[in-house]
Amino acid sequence: GDSVTQMEGPVTLSEEAFLTINCTYTATGYPSLFWYVQYPGEGLQLLLKATKADDKGSNKGFEATYRKETTSFHLEKGSVQVSDSAVYFCALSERSFQKLVFGTGTRLLVSP
Amino acid sequence: SQTIHQWPATLVQPVGSPLSLECTVEGTSNPNLYWYRQAAGRGLQLLFYSIGIDQISSEVPQNLSASRPQDRQFILSSKKLLLSDSGFYLCAWSALGKGARTYEQYFGPGTRLTVT
């Protein structure tokens, strides 16, 4: 079945460092891809999305490009802030399109 | 705009007691609704989803059940809680197939359940 694999965390960075969180997927067909962010004690918020190959989703300085040839959707940010500390989930739309398949999440810790 | 509410925000219940968690969505009609559980330090586990009233699909066999008494209300229940039911319960909605061609889901603030 469809699946999403994310890099193990935690990812620990200093403020203003460059961020990459890797995400690869396995799916039949052409899923849409998403990044969600979860701040401590809260629900998930949609961060960005891409619906077809070569699309780039972006929001709040974060970017991710839908790479069909490498089945990847890596999350990047040029300069992280302490307030970016959270858990980040990669997800894809399952073939029936009624459900999302989530990765296990990657915790990001940014220190001043 | 659409909003999603969950209550209670936190709950501490003894083993063997019943459970009822409620989720409501405002600002949209006939949404798809979802219940997820997130164990401590773990990812998301889809428990139930519903594409309409009386249309509920169970993803994982367990002692939990879901009901949808109204179009925008989704309830998660248990007759007897287990220790393993502890976790963070998240409700979500989407508009896929209901006039929208996008698949994203929108999440509520969650309920933290501790079974003692």
Q: Kindly write down the DSSP assignment for every residue of A27-55, as one continuous string.
A: -SS---EEEEEE-TTS-EEEEEEE-STT-
Min distance A43 CA to chain B CA atoms (Å): 4
Q: How many helices (H) and strands (E) does chain A have?
A: 0, 12
Strand A62-65 vs strand A56-59: parallel, antiparallel, or unpaired? antiparallel
Say if A44 is an interface residue toward chain B (CB within 8 Å).
yes
Strand A23-26 vs strand A56-59: parallel, antiparallel, or unpaired? unpaired
Amino acid B101: pLDDT:
62
Q: Choosing among A44, A59, A101, which should be mutated to test the B contact, i.e. which has the most B CBs within 10 A?
A: A44
Strand B32-38 vs strand A106-111: parallel, antiparallel, or unpaired? unpaired
User: pLDDT tier at A95 (50, 70, 90 boundaries)?
Assistant: low
Taking only the tens of pLDDT, chain B with its 116 residues reads 889 999 999 999 999 999 999 999 999 888 999 999 998 777 888 999 998 888 999 888 678 999 999 999 999 999 999 999 999 999 999 986 655 566 789 999 999 999 99
Chain position carrying tokens 């009822």: B20
* Mean per-residue pLDDT of chain A: 93
Number of CB atoms found within 10 A of residue B53's CB: 14
Which residues in chain A are closer than 8 Å to B32, comparing Cβ atoms?
98
pLDDT over threshold 80, residue A98: no
Nearest CA in chain B to A5: B43
Closest Cβ–Cβ partner in A43, A97, A105 for B107: A43
What is the arithmetic mean of pLDDT over A67-91?
96
Say if A99 is an interface residue toward chain B (CB within 8 Å).
yes
* CA max distance for chain B: 44
Contact A49, A57 (CB under 8 A): yes
Amino acid A21: pLDDT:
97
Number of CB atoms found within 10 A of residue A83's CB: 10
Amino acid B99: pLDDT:
59
Phi, psi of A79 (to 5 degrees): -150, 105
